[in-house]
Structure 1
């Protein structure tokens, strides 16, 4: 699929080639073999926490992030997770796979990402998790949905840095931004995320929620749609709110958002630190 984007302000219009963009992910994966292996095996029925933790231990930085997340306030295990195998059990295989996907696609390198990428991503993840029960979803699965939702935005930014920066600047509203992405690239960032995750064998239950986010009649897309609304209220200056009842297909009311907004504000910094990690090995890794 090759799409010719609309011109940027300086008149240039780089060719957007979806196959090339997806192939670039495979190139990144080759540079992070442990993360790529985790993405491959974490969804296998015969993979155990012990086997997954043994693979994970080969990437100290990624293992440290899993340990930090397991010991975070989100999982309520502050300081009690002292082995990597236990950490894998606490956060779950889907979360480990999500964190490995973040690593192998360079989402932990903020210099390569759109502005405020992680402010938006942590808000999306925590809002999705907090709202998940209202849509009959598991909070941990919803957390992963939110953490990966912006993968497509990172890929668009990497492929067309100047043009995508202009697009983001011109469209602070997420819904309007996705429409602008579709006009410019022939695909929006959330749909591009779904395509990438489909390529890696992520479950349909995750990719279908991404694909339905802009269908306002779809309950399946309601969780992520609602999470984007929470995120916009927290991150977009002078944002004109959209009624959450409409976005959520009646599953969430305005009063329900008060504790959600408070929780996202309270936990965002810690989740960001856990996902991005630091250069020092985690002292809990054995």
Structure 2
């Protein structure tokens, strides 16, 4: 019987990454069509750090405003709900996702760069195929590897073994994790997303981002493709997932070039929040 299980890790309540209450509330409001800019501004104003980030972003070179923005309400109006959602996710996730993961051999910022790239690829793919919520795709892409953070923290000896197995047998890391632990970072990431009360479709996409077979929903396929494209220049597109969402591989490669340009702007946004 394995000593490390999903339940044993998730049972360590105080040691797991948490989605701040204000971030959770903001994401709920943004998904509610009845929410006004004033409603959103009121919640943001309850968090001093987030308030400062919104104002800093509005007044940064990224937006190039001709006058100084001094209130959150004005900031929300200028940025719009979509940008606020990205801001909240980036501000919330950056501190956790930018850390080093020694068990995976990942340096500080390496997971963050991959996650941000995956999020942007997912957003572009979603927009291209007419998926109704491109920002939802960005969220799923940004958070798809949160399980790695948990495993690096709570199952480090096992992750060292999995990483060695991955390199020695030249198998994907999620397969090596499953051989060592009985589950992968994708599976425990989905469970953590459930714990954060994220929508079921997001949890499913996080949990299925390495699955070879598409599901009835498009979001897991979007994230699967985005994850492949976020590996760098030497990537292999998952054909079954391309077919599942009706995306031509040539169009996907064109999107990849577009994303490389947009990532420059996204990184400027991150620097504006630092």
The equivalences for 1:121-132 within 5 A come to 121-132=115-126
1:273 CA drift (Å):
5.2
Offset of residue 127 of structure 1: 0.8
Paired position in structure 2 for 1:53: 41
Asked if the contact 2:91/2:273 (under 8 Å) is kept, the reply is no
Shift in CA distance, 151/170, structure 1 to aligned 2, threshold 3 Å: same
8 Å CA contact retained: 1:65, 1:274 = no
SS of the residue corresponding to residue 201 of structure 1 reads coil
User: Post-superposition shift, 1:147?
Assistant: 0.7
Which structure is higher in RCO with an 8 Å CA cutoff and minimum separation 6?
A: 1
Structure 2 CA distance for partners of 1:149 and 1:278, relative to 1, 3 Å: same
* 2:152 matched residue in structure 1: 157
Q: Paired residue for 1:282?
A: none
Describe the shift of the 1:152–1:63 C-alpha distance in structure 2 as closer, same or farther (beyond 3 A).
Answer: farther
Query: Following the alignment from structure 1 to structure 2, what is the Cα–Cα distance between the partners of residues 272 and 163?
Result: 33
Q: Could you say which residue in structure 1 is the equivalent of 2:114?
A: 120
CA contact (8 A) 1:42 1:93 kept: no
- Matched with 1:245 is 239
Distance, in Å, in 2 between the alignment partners of 1:153 and 1:274 is: 25
1-structure distance, mates of 2:156, 2:181:
13
Q: Which residue, 180, 194, 199 being the options, matches 2:195?
A: 199
Correspondence 1:42 to 2:27: yes
- Indicate the residue corresponding to 1:78 in structure 2: 63
Superposed displacement of residue 36, structure 1? 2.4
Deviation of residue 215 (structure 1)?
A: 4.5
Q: Distance in 2 between matches of 1:188 and 1:135?
A: 31
Deviation of 1:136 after TM superposition, in Å, equals: 2.3
Contact 1:69 1:91 in 2 (8 A): no
1:90 aligns with 81
How far does the alpha carbon of each residue in 1:162-202 deviate from its partner, in whole angstroms, 9 at most, with x for none? 54356446548x98211112222222112222111112221
In the superposition, relative to structure 1, how do residues 38 and 219 fare at CA in structure 2: closer, same or farther (>3 Å)? same
Q: Tell me, yes or no, if structure 1 residue 147 matches structure 2 residue 146.
A: no
Q: Distance in 2 between matches of 1:43 and 1:243?
A: 33
Between 47-56 and 194-203, the greater mean CA deviation after superposition: 47-56
- For residues 68 and 262 of structure 1, the distance between their equivalents in structure 2, rounded to whole angstroms, comes to 29
Asked whether the 8 Å contact 1:218–1:249 carries over to 2, the reply is: no
Q: Which residue of 1 aligns with 2:99?
A: 110
> 1:75-105: per-residue Cα shift (whole Å, max 9, x none)?
xx833594443367332675466346526xx
186, 189, 196: which one aligns with 1:190: 186
Q: How many residues align?
A: 254
In 1: Cα distance, 2:271 partner to 2:13 partner: 19
Tell me the TM-score normalized by structure 1. Answer: 0.70
Shift of 1:125: 0.5
Contact 1:72 1:78 in 2 (8 A): yes
1:43 & 1:24 partners in 2: Cα distance?
A: 26
Structure 1 stretch 248-257 or stretch 110-119: which is displaced more? 110-119
